[in-house]
């Protein structure tokens, strides 16, 4: 990434145009800059350019990378967008400001315990396996009402739903389905859309787009 400010401005402009097409305001959509696998020195220029919300896939990576960055740049918000192991719930609640991957009852229990222990209420998106793909994480659509009921019963602050559509298939129907599911359950947040399809997601109601390669370039090897 040779010009972080230009890359950020380009993404913001594309988001704003997509929002306008849908009759929405650009500020209704949060850009989550996905910094997974990219070092702190690649993240800092984007923060300097004005980006304040970042996403990481792994608790372990974020623990190493982000404490020093947050000391240097107060006001940055950190979102966990990858799968979360229940035994990492305490660390996740301490470090992250939002969790996009709540997908099973055992994680409801672990996060509720971690939030009680820390005194932090961290907003959560329930990840839905929107394409019914066996290899992907996420709650099955049929089980979504039960999982939401468990999360609400545990006093977890559920703010919306999240999905990753199947690769190689037009994403619009999946985004539309997540939008409907979110509305049906009375939730405000829709975490959907990545580098290759965020404009479609914005036009179909996304409140949080997770953009990595369009900002940082190709993902680094892990």
Query: What mean pLDDT is predicted for residues 35-46?
Result: 93
Does the structure show a pLDDT above 70 at 220?
A: no
CA separation for the pair 194, 100 (Å, rounded): 14
pLDDT of residue 1: 46
pLDDT of residue 210: 98
CA separation for the pair 96, 49 (Å, rounded): 22
Asked if residues 125 and 192 have their Cβ atoms less than 8 Å apart, the reply is: no
pLDDT of residue 2: 60
Backbone angles phi, psi at 139, to 5 degrees: -80, 135
Report helix, strand or coil for 17.
helix
For residue 71, give Cα distances in angstroms to 53, 57, 66, 76, 220: 15, 21, 8, 10, 25
Backbone angles phi, psi at 83, to 5 degrees: -60, 145
The pTM for the full model equals 0.95
Strand pairing partners for 78?
Answer: 54
pLDDT in tens, 72-113: 999 999 999 999 999 999 999 999 999 999 999 999 999 999
CA separation for the pair 105, 219 (Å, rounded): 31
Query: What mean pLDDT is predicted for residues 12-29?
Result: 98
Does the structure show a pLDDT above 70 at 221?
A: no
Considering Cα of 173, then 177, then 182, then 184, what sign does the dihedral take? Answer: positive
Asked if residues 22 and 51 have their Cβ atoms less than 8 Å apart, the reply is: no
Does the structure show a pLDDT above 60 at 219?
A: no
**What percent of the chain is predicted at pLDDT more than 70?**
97
pLDDT of residue 16: 98
pLDDT in tens, 132-176: 998 889 999 999 999 999 999 999 999 999 999 999 999 999 999
H or E, element range at 96: none
CA separation for the pair 148, 124 (Å, rounded): 11
Other residues' Cβ atoms within 10 Å of the Cβ of residue 157: 14
pLDDT of residue 124: 98
């Amino acid at each position: 990434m040779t010009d972080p400010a230009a890359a950020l401005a380009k993404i913001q402009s594309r988001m704003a145009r997509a929002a306008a097409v849908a009759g929405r305001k650009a500020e209704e959509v949060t850009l989550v800059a996905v910094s997974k696998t990219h070092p702190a020195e690649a993240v800092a220029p984007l923060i300097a350019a004005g980006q304040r919300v970042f996403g990481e896939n792994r608790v372990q990576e974020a623990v190493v990378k982000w404490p020093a960055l947050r000391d240097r740049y107060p006001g940055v918000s950190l979102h966990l967008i990858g799968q979360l192991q229940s035994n990492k719930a305490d660390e996740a609640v301490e470090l992250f400001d939002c969790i996009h991957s709540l997908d099973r009852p055992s994680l409801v229990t672990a996060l509720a315990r971690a939030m009680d222990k820390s005194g932090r209420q961290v907003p959560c998106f329930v990840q839905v396996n929107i394409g019914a793909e066996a290899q992907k994480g996420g709650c099955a659509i049929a089980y979504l009402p039960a999982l939401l009921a468990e999360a609400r019963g545990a006093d977890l602050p559920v703010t919306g739903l999240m999905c990753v559509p199947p690769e190689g298939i037009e994403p619009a129907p999946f985004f539309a389905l997540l939008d409907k599911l979110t509305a049906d359950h009375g939730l405000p947040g829709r975490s959907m859309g990545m580098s290759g399809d965020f404009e479609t997601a914005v036009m179909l109601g996304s409140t949080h787009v997770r953009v990595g390669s369009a900002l940082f370039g190709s993902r680094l090897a892990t």
